[in-house]
Chain A
Amino acid sequence: MAALQTLARRCSTSILKRHFSVSSPVAAQMTVRDALNTAMNEEMKRDESVFLLGEEVAEYDGAYKVSRGLWRKYGDKRVMDTPITEMGFAGIAVGSAMAGLKPICEFMTFNFSMQAIDQVINSAAKTYYMSAGKQTVPIVFRGPNGAAAGVAAQHSQCFAAWYGHCPGLKVVSPYSSEDAKGLLKSAIRDPNPVVCMENELMYGTAFEMSDEAMSEEFLVPIGKAKIEREGTHCTLVSHSKSVGLCLEAAQILEKENIFCEVINLRTIRPMDEETLINSVKKTNHLVTVEGGWPQFGVGAEIVAKVMESDAFDYLDAPVYRVTGADIPMPYAATLERATLPGTQDVVLTVKKSLHIQ
């Protein structure tokens, strides 16, 4: 029910606030949901060993309808509904990958992946190393990550920092439909374990898709960030839904003649340090923006990387982080709004960085 309301809300606001990263007269439009669906469909068509398992992915068409139509098309063998037993089915997915299949293991949200996290880290991520290259684990773990709307503390955590911490894992966090399609396709083709963290609130958002992005061979490389908007005064770096926040803030700041460069990380691990450092050298100011908690988070890691790099000498201000508030997510609407970063947080922090006001 909450998901439907969210969907309705997103549809109405997306008409008012379109996120364009490419402007083209005859470009197609695709929602993030459809982009993910298309990615899975194309990869399942291309490779017999790719299959999807998770709660409600088959007959329900997916808890958030991301896998709509796939079971009808591919049947029980390729799209499997599991019981509500994350540790068990994640372990089974990992085992099937060890034996040569290419599973897509869906967590209804990444909050539930905590029950299975041992299988993700100890059975999937570390195995290629422990076996000195003998045993591969070509698995994708995917699902919505981070805050939704009104789902409270146990259903709102961002796991980018937790999974991004671990060697042996690749971790991607798409923002746009192009990101979603290209990154998920790359993840499925990647013979290593990949965690693909989506965002429920973005599922219904439509983005322009170039002809290239609409093709069946379209891939977004893992490990490469995208400069969504070029700028000169301050770099904003973000991932997932917060990229949209940065773009909005950049538009607001533009009216005051402050031009921000917005970087969409796309991949949390391995992070594209080169793009970050080059941007900081250009703008001399950096603000990281994320929905997750501040301590030991993605922003914290970026700060450390920049401090230790030669970009440090180019900084004219400390690197600042805009993050979710350091509290469990409250339910009440006003409190929830205040817990998540908004454009005012980004604008304020950029101005602080630039010593304005």
Chain B
Amino acid sequence: MLSCAARLVRAQIQSKPTACWVVATRGYADIVDEATFTTSEYALHKLDEGPSQTVTVTRDDALKYYRQMQTIRRMETAAGNLYKSKVIRGFCHLYSGQEACAVGMEAALTPNDHVITAYRAHGWTYTRGVPPVNILAELTGRKTGVAKGKGGSMHMYGHNFYGGNGIVGAQVPLGAGIALALKYTGSNDVCVALYGDGAANQGQVFETYNIAKLWDLPCIFVCENNGYGMGTAVERASANTEYYTRGDYVPGLRADGMDVLAVREATRFAAEWCRSGKGPMLLEVATYRYHGHSMSDPGTTYRPREEIQEMRKTRDPITGLRERLISVNLATAEEMKQIDLDVRAEIDKAVEQAKADPELPVEEMYNDIFVDEPPFKVRGTNPFMYGISK
């Protein structure tokens, strides 16, 4: 019993096999600088034309995407292991399987664009520029964590990155608000506001579509549809599972979220739309998560193991990119193997630091309540204990 999105993702290989051919010039070396591929079709809503199915990528970019996706995969695997050994506590929502979404989108954005997402945020925190060691140290609650250990898994922030948000759907109006600020200040940048298939039914999301469309806000709404809102498959949660159409008057499109180049192309299209002042756009990326909703969910009571195994085997975004690159000599298996080893070493080292670094001293728990405030007394857990907030 495959979920709707899983069926969708699977259908994309069955309907149109990814053809690929070499376009760039061949020199005396075997490796080429650039190659062109065909993505699967994009579904369009209230759009006359969509992103191009013909995508070109340079060798440097391709290797960068590969490295980034592999880094996220390794980092999330490490986080899973740290959680199992109880070094990470509370909530931990892993992004494994969805790497192409963050990496592909980031490839079409600049650091001057803005991003806000929900709680499955570790991958995005990384693509927005936070080093893995500071992400892992935040997960282990240490003072070298990106939020000094005070935020945890769901509350990591970076430059033009607004987290990491724990309340389902709340980040969507926030994202439109960021877009409002961009328009207000005359900026050419856009805000990408991500949410999942579960959050897509939230009332505040529709309230946001309404205002974003009325006010022409430069906001790309992205639905990362991984087929399940926690343990509820999309067809059991949504009367309409075509999430790219749910914006009604907001034009939308759906892309294959397991294909990093398709995601990049779709994002490029959406960003151009928003930057040109045409208002918001809705981008649905059909993707899949290998792990459960969070670390407390095995992820197998509501979906068949065979489905997960099949996704890993046939639709993995990292394997998919690797095979593409090798098939057209954009990169060799050896150099990608080297990237794998480098990434593994980097993450292993980060894990060691994340385990070894100390937590904040307890007195510092009273800090960061207000900004620009002279030091003030904060009550502790009994009437005789006060901290000073600085």
Say yes or no: A98 contacts B177, CB within 8 Å. Answer: yes
User: Which positions 168-205 of chain B face chain A at CB distance < 8 Å?
Assistant: 170, 172-182, 184-185, 191, 203-204
On whether A97 and B163 interact (CB within 8 A), knowing A129-B150, A132-B368, A192-B371, the answer reads no
| Tier of interface size on chain B | 35 or more
Chain A: which residue is nearest B383 at the CB level? A308
Chain A: which residue is nearest B162 at the CB level? A98
Interface check B208, CB cutoff 8 A = yes
User: Which positions 47-92 of chain A face chain B at CB distance < 8 Å?
Assistant: 49, 51, 77, 80, 82-83, 85, 87-92
Which of B150, B204, B215, B372 is in CB contact (< 8 Å) with A91? B204
CA distance A319 to B370 in the complex (A): 31
Which of A89, A95, A122, A135 is in CB contact (< 8 Å) with B175? A95
Interface check B18, CB cutoff 8 A = no
Chain B: which residue is nearest A193 at the CB level? B370
Task: List the interface of chain A (C-beta within 8 A of B).
Answer: 49, 51, 77, 80, 82-83, 85, 87-101, 118-119, 122-123, 128-136, 167-168, 170, 191-192, 270, 308
Interface check B347, CB cutoff 8 A = no
CA distance A109 to B153 in the complex (A): 36
Chain B: which residue is nearest A273 at the CB level? B377
* Chain B nearest CB, measured from A195 CB (Å): 14
Which of B114, B177, B371 is in CB contact (< 8 Å) with A136? B371
Chain A: which residue is nearest B189 at the CB level? A99
Give the residues in chain B near A170, CB-CB below 8 Å: 370
Give the residues in chain A near B185, CB-CB below 8 Å: 100-101
Q: Can you list 19 A-B pairs, Cβ within 8 angstroms, ordered by A?
A: A80-B215, A87-B203, A88-B206, A88-B208, A89-B173, A94-B177, A95-B116, A95-B173, A95-B174, A95-B175, A96-B178, A98-B177, A128-B369, A130-B150, A131-B163, A133-B371, A135-B162, A168-B370, A192-B370
Give the residues in chain B near A308, CB-CB below 8 Å: 383
Give the residues in chain B near A129, CB-CB below 8 Å: 150, 368-369
Which of B155, B173, B181, B215 is in CB contact (< 8 Å) with A90? B173
Q: How many A-B residue pairs have CB under 8 A?
A: 142
On whether A134 and B147 interact (CB within 8 A), knowing A83-B207, A83-B211, the answer reads yes
CA distance A343 to B170 in the complex (A): 44
Interface check B157, CB cutoff 8 A = yes
17 A-B pairs besides A96-B180, A98-B162, A134-B146 with CB distance below 8 A are A87-B207, A88-B207, A88-B210, A89-B207, A91-B174, A92-B173, A92-B180, A95-B162, A99-B178, A101-B180, A131-B163, A132-B368, A133-B368, A133-B371, A135-B162, A136-B371, A191-B371
CA distance A14 to B203 in the complex (A): 44
* Chain A nearest CB, measured from B174 CB (Å): 4
Which of A95, A100, A128 is in CB contact (< 8 Å) with B371? A128
Give the residues in chain B near A95, CB-CB below 8 Å: 116, 162, 173-181
On whether A132 and B170 interact (CB within 8 A), knowing A94-B177, A95-B178, A191-B372, the answer reads no
* Chain A nearest CB, measured from B78 CB (Å): 22
CA distance A133 to B366 in the complex (A): 12
User: Which positions 353-390 of chain B face chain A at CB distance < 8 Å?
Assistant: 367-373, 376, 378, 383
Say yes or no: B184 contacts A101, CB within 8 Å. Answer: yes
On whether A82 and B368 interact (CB within 8 A), knowing A96-B180, A101-B181, the answer reads no
Say yes or no: B207 contacts A130, CB within 8 Å. Answer: no
Which of A83, A98, A131, A132 is in CB contact (< 8 Å) with B178? A98
CA distance A82 to B181 in the complex (A): 16
Chain B: which residue is nearest A86 at the CB level? B207
Give the residues in chain B near A87, CB-CB below 8 Å: 173, 203-204, 207
Task: List the interface of chain B (C-beta within 8 A of A).
Answer: 114, 116, 146-151, 155, 157, 162-163, 165-167, 170, 172-182, 184-185, 191, 203-204, 206-208, 210-211, 214-215, 367-373, 376, 378, 383
CA distance A80 to B211 in the complex (A): 11
CA distance A349 to B181 in the complex (A): 51
Give the residues in chain A near B206, CB-CB below 8 Å: 88
- Quick one: which of A91, A95, A122 has the most chain B CB within 10 A? A95
- Quick one: which of A92, A191, A192, A270 has the most chain B CB within 10 A? A92
Give the top 8 A-B pairs by smallest Cβ distance, nearest first: A95-B177, A91-B173, A88-B207, A99-B181, A95-B174, A85-B207, A132-B148, A92-B177
Chain B: which residue is nearest A85 at the CB level? B207
CA distance A136 to B162 in the complex (A): 11
Give the residues in chain B near A97, CB-CB below 8 Å: 177
Give the residues in chain A near B175, CB-CB below 8 Å: 95
CA distance A34 to B369 in the complex (A): 33
Which of A51, A91, A128 is in CB contact (< 8 Å) with B208? A91
Which of A51, A98, A101 is in CB contact (< 8 Å) with B174? A98
- Quick one: which of A98, A101, A134 has the most chain B CB within 10 A? A134
Give the residues in chain B near A123, CB-CB below 8 Å: 165, 167, 170, 174
Say yes or no: A130 contacts B170, CB within 8 Å. Answer: no
Give the residues in chain A near B371, CB-CB below 8 Å: 128, 133, 136, 191-192
- Quick one: which of A83, A91, A123, A308 has the most chain B CB within 10 A? A91
CA distance A65 to B76 in the complex (A): 54
Say yes or no: A93 contacts B177, CB within 8 Å. Answer: yes
* Chain A nearest CB, measured from B18 CB (Å): 38
Say yes or no: A130 contacts B178, CB within 8 Å. Answer: no
* Chain B nearest CB, measured from A345 CB (Å): 30
Say yes or no: B147 contacts A94, CB within 8 Å. Answer: no
On whether A131 and B147 interact (CB within 8 A), knowing A99-B177, A122-B166, A191-B372, the answer reads yes
Give the residues in chain A near B165, CB-CB below 8 Å: 123
Give the residues in chain A near B191, CB-CB below 8 Å: 99
Which of B150, B166, B184, B376 is in CB contact (< 8 Å) with A270? B376
